[in-house]
Amino acid sequence: MQPPEESRDEAPFAEPSEVVCPFCLRNNAPEASFCAVCGAPLGPVANIDPIQQIHAEGFAFRSAVSSPPRALILAGTWLAMLPLAGSAVGMILSGFPMSLFGIAMLLLAIGVLVRATAHFISRKRALARARKESI
């Protein structure tokens, strides 16, 4: 059966006039790679361009240590950092020149995990305290 005439005439992949940020729900220009308001990655360019990909990953880790506590963000941080820490230990065990990179990677992974976890716990406690005081 043929679709109705009207729906075949519409462009199936029309360019959107604006892109809505999934984090702050503000409108952005359709060609924007990052939200102008909150800096969240938008669209596929942030996943393809290596420099913008680094910035997009940085947004995820920054939101783990600065935004309201979310268990999913914390779990994602642990899932991203544990393999990094494991390969860092492997580099340390492989001996000198690579062990220096391994030490730097291990310190980075431990720093991000400690900061994200401490932020999650302290913000959860602060929210629970604020909820108790408001009752």
Rounded CA separation 117/107 (Å)? 15
* Identity of the residue, 34 or 120, whose beta carbon is nearer to Zn ion in the bound complex: 34
| Least distance from Zn ion to the Cβ atom of residue 127, Å | 22
- In the bound state with Zn ion, the residue whose beta carbon lies nearer, of 60 and 108, is 60
The nearer residue to Zn ion, 28 or 88, going by C-beta atoms, is 28
CB of 39 to Zn ion, least distance (A): 7
Q: In sequence order, what are the residues at sequence separation of 6 or more whose Cβ sits closer than 8 angstroms to the Cβ of residue 38?
A: 21, 23, 24, 26
Residue 57's nearest CA partner among 31, 30, 37, 84 is 84
Positions that interact with Zn ion (CB under 5 A) = 21, 23-24, 35, 37-38, 40
